Structure 1
Amino acid sequence: MQFFFLSLKHQYSLISDVPTCSYCCSVLMRNAEFLMNHGQTCLAMNRPSRMYRYMCYTCDYHSYSNHTLLRHVRIHLGEKPFKCSHCDYFSSTVSNIKRHMLIRHNM
């Protein structure tokens, strides 16, 4: 298995203050649920297959699952809603919190 780590500069370049659909050029609300809905309903998006119901509003990411799209959209928004109960670490996924607690707090 190969891991790909983005540089901090590249990670922050993915975060947008004003989300804009790169397919229909609409300015969108900075809300993960709204962005997921737009990715499901935008008619300008060229879907690789009809099976891909969920597409990212700004890049070519697509998924069968709304859960994986939500995790992906949080990268663009810079959202990290999950917090470690033992320190000030925040993450966009629960699995990262669990891994953090195992590595940093031996839990």
Structure 2
Amino acid sequence: SQMDNSQGNFGNWQQMVGDQTGDDVFSGQDTGAQNSQDYTQCAFCKEKIFNEPEYLLGHTLDCQFAPRPNSTYRAVCCFCDYHTLLATDMRKHIRKHTGEKPYQCHVCSYKSTNNSNLKTHIRIKHS
């Protein structure tokens, strides 16, 4: 099934990326994409996509092979069966796959995938 295939691709992608925190590959800086760890493969079209959140987001919106049975499928995840109408929701969802944590505590080394968790951290640990 498509879901099994997409999970399989994500498993391969996880193996390629390993235990990286995402600080280098997902920093938003152009790393040159010189080896296979800098790319992932779309489960639907098999295209190699640069492992950077904005490239992945763009592909979720543009992939011609992703299933889009109705308008709520505007953005379709390349790794699992998640879909959404809103690009902002897909941007947040992609962080589950990439490990990107763009919200950094100004006091310690804590990082979070979302601002709400960061605010909770600051309130509990630093107030």
Would you call these one fold, judging by a TM-score over 0.5? yes
Q: Which residue is 2:89 aligned to?
A: 68
Q: Which residue is 1:103 aligned to?
A: 124
Q: Which residue is 2:4 aligned to?
A: none
User: What is the rounded CA distance, in whole Å, between the counterparts of 1:15 and 1:41 in structure 2?
Assistant: 20
Q: Deviating runs (4+, > 3 A) in structure 1? A: 13-16
After TM superposition, the structure 1 = structure 2 runs for residues 1-107 of structure 1, keeping only pairs within 5 Å, are 16=14, 17=17, 18-106=39-127
Matched-pair identity in %: 34
- Higher normalized helix content (fraction of residues): 2
Instruction: Normalising by structure 2, report the TM-score.
Output: 0.66
Structure 1, unpaired ranges of 5+: 1-12
Whether the 8 Å CA contact 1:15–1:77 is kept in 2: the answer is no
- The CA RMSD over aligned residues, in Å, is 1.9
